[in-house]
Amino acid sequence: MTKYIVVSGGVISGIGKGVIASSTGTLLKSLGLRVTAIKIDPYLNIDAGLMSPLDHGEVFVLNDGGEVDLDLGNYERFLDVELSRINNITTGKIYREVIEKERKGDYLGKTVQVVPHITDAIQSWIERVANLPTDNSGEKPDVCIIELGGTVGDIESAPFVEAMRQFQFRVGHENFCLIHVSLVPVVGSVGEQKTKPTQMSVRDLRGAGLTPDLIACRSSKPLDESICSKISMFCHVAPEQVLAVHDVSSVYHVPILMREHGIIDFFRRRLNLDALTISDENRLAGEELWNKWSTLAGSYEHIHEKVSIALVGKYTHLHDSYISVYKALEHASLNCGRKLEIKWIEATDLEQETLTSDPKKFHESWQEVCSANGILVPGGFGSRGIDGMLLAAKWARENKVPYLGICLGMQIAVIEFARNVCGMPDAESAEFNPDTKTPAVVYMPEISKTHMGGTMRLGLRPTVFQPGSENSRVRKLYGNKPSIDERHRHRYEVNPEIVDKIESNGLKFVGKDETGERMEIVEMDDHPYFVGAQYHPEYLTRPLNPCPLFKGLILAASGILDSAL
């Protein structure tokens, strides 16, 4: 029987449920168990595809093309698994499924209600996901971790909370465990820790019919023993069921913090984990995973040599908009023995208009760009900030500063090169100017122009290295493989009609799709590292296995790429 661990949140959203859920999964994997994860988002959207990054953070893309919440990226990175779109449950998906069944007559004339029809659909969906393999073994997971998005007490999450109340009886007590993540704020000049918000949150949870097995208390500093005792007393749990999770230097320390608290032994008792059959191979793999994880977390503290990367984007005011990019840079930096310093640059601040409206901001932004060891332009949509990105790419190309362009960032590199090297001053993207006479980037012909949701070129697709690319730095970074599989998310592509002209001037398309018609990787020969990728390599980064393109950027920015190759 699959074991289910639900992670709920109280007091405020964004409290760290995703990190607690991912860390729990990492600890269970270290025992040799197979783990999967589900994120429940109570919003009405079918998926996250049409949400603004500034409203909800990054849209994460899975192998099957699912556009999902960024927490699924956390799960994949921590657990080193590959999830699918059904691992992200939304209110929109559940209601659509129930309404479609009602229209087909599946409910036999009954009145369709939130209870039992919506709550039953939620529980059935969870059980379907829990039976799906997440690795090459083909075996179903031993443990399914369910993160309940939002905050207990929210109107929109009520059906999911009720579904979990029913689910605990459906699967049985020893197969269901609840972790409630709450906030212990530190207030006043003396830094007093307050337990009342947690008490109220647990009261709401109990009022909904759920009893926490663990209360994970988030705080800016370690909890006093008296505070833990107070939470234990007033929330009706044993002292060992109060888990203090204070701020740490990196998220990689959270599983270590939880393990030191005795969480693994607690799960062994509470979920009877010893009754599960774990092969010697999986047990050894789990031990090796934990050893590597501990080494990774320890190395974070002992790296002192810095490397700075200017991230020139459109959504830098909310860093979660680029969380996978940030993680990919971090993983690559750790792998290369460098401490990462990211300079967050809003692309519009590099444009001439800012020189007039806010000269100080303009000069500060350019100072950051010019002093960085490398420049990265990530993906994005729309025309805002494009001129700033083009200027950043031009600076990197002309001054031999390592540059990595992702999706839009690759298109920026091609447009800039076409304008300033290939004698095409009017080169433009059809995304920004549909009537341009010199389209360097065009709308993909197979993409719908009437429906936006789920209609981009999405998911895992092959990229084939082209003949003559044997000396390509990018190809060497990928281990000289003839082809690679990476995840995509785009509507526009480099215009195939200008490829010959671009290449004749020194910017080579070393990777294309399987048809040879769609440009995937661009690279400049006479440059330390000037690379663009139409795909999103950051979606496949892992703490112990960084993305080759990001590793190349960090190596080049550190001045050691050629020696590393």
**Model confidence pLDDT, tens digit, residues 77-106:** 999 999 999 999 999 999 999 999 999 999
Query: Hey, which residues does 404 pair with through a beta bridge?
Result: 376, 531
DSSP character string of 372-426:
-SEEEE----SSTTHHHHHHHHHHHHHTT--EEEETHHHHHHHHHHHHHTSS-TT
Predicted local distance difference test score (pLDDT) of residue 138: 81
- 270, 177 Cβ separation under 8 angstroms: yes
The pLDDT of residue 260 is: 93
pLDDT in tens, 289-324: 999 999 988 887 788 899 999 999 999 989 999 999
Q: What mean pLDDT comes out for the span 457-462?
A: 93
Alpha-carbon gap, residue 544 to 30, rounded angstroms = 14
Write out the H or E segment, with its range, that includes residue 179. strand 176-183
Average the pLDDT over 425-430 and give the result. 92
Q: What is the pLDDT averaged over residues 153-165?
A: 94
Question: Region 179-205: what's the mean pLDDT?
Answer: 90
Are the C-beta atoms of 308 and 341 separated by less than 8 Å? Answer: yes
Q: Which range, of 284-293, 370-379, 440-449, 528-537, averages the lowest pLDDT?
A: 440-449
Lowest-pLDDT choice from 61-75, 289-303, 477-491: 289-303
- What pLDDT is stored for residue 177 in this prediction? 97
pTM above 0.85, yes or no: yes
Instruction: Give me the pLDDT at residue 249, please.
Output: 84
Is residue 134 very low, low, confident or very high in pLDDT (cuts 50, 70, 90)? Answer: confident
Q: Does residue 347 have a pLDDT over 90?
A: yes
3-state SS, residue 43:
coil
pLDDT at 446 exceeding the cut of 80: no
Active site residues: 407, 536, 538
* Residue 334 confidence (pLDDT): 92
Asked if pLDDT for residue 113 goes beyond 80, the answer is yes
Residue 190 has pLDDT above 90, yes or no: no
Kindly report the backbone phi and psi dihedral angles of residue 7, in degrees, each rounded to the nearest multiple of 5, phi listed first. Answer: -115, 110
Q: Residue 133 above 90 pLDDT? A: no
pLDDT tens figures, 396-427: 999 999 999 999 999 999 999 999 999 999 99
Name the percent of the chain in helix, strand, coil, to the closest 5: 45, 20, 35
Least confident of 48-52, 515-519, 521-525, 531-535: 48-52
Nearest one of 204, 201, 191, 293 to 246, comparing CA atoms: 191
| pLDDT band, very low/low/confident/very high, at 442 (cuts 50, 70, 90) | very high
Quote the pLDDT of residue 368.
96
Q: Taking all residues of the chain, what is their mean pLDDT, rounded to a whole number?
A: 92
CA distance 413 to 390: 7
Contacts of 82 (CB under 8 A, 6+ apart): 62, 63, 76, 134, 135
Q: pLDDT at residue 375 above 80?
A: yes
| 3 state DSSP class of 434 | coil
Q: What percent of the chain has pLDDT over 90?
A: 80
pLDDT grade for 450, boundaries at 50, 70 and 90: low
Query: How confident is the model over 528-539, as a mean pLDDT?
Result: 96
Q: What is the mean pLDDT of residues 233-258?
A: 91
Q: What pLDDT score was predicted for residue 325? A: 96
Burial 26-65 (b: 16+ CB within 10 A, else e): bbbbbbbbbbbbbbbbbbebbbbbebebeebbbbbbbbeb
Binning pLDDT at 50, 70 and 90, where does residue 454 land? Answer: low
* pLDDT grade for 261, boundaries at 50, 70 and 90: very high
pLDDT score at 351: 94
pLDDT of res. 398: 95
Amino acid 96: pLDDT: 96
Confidence category of residue 135, pLDDT binned at 50, 70, 90: confident
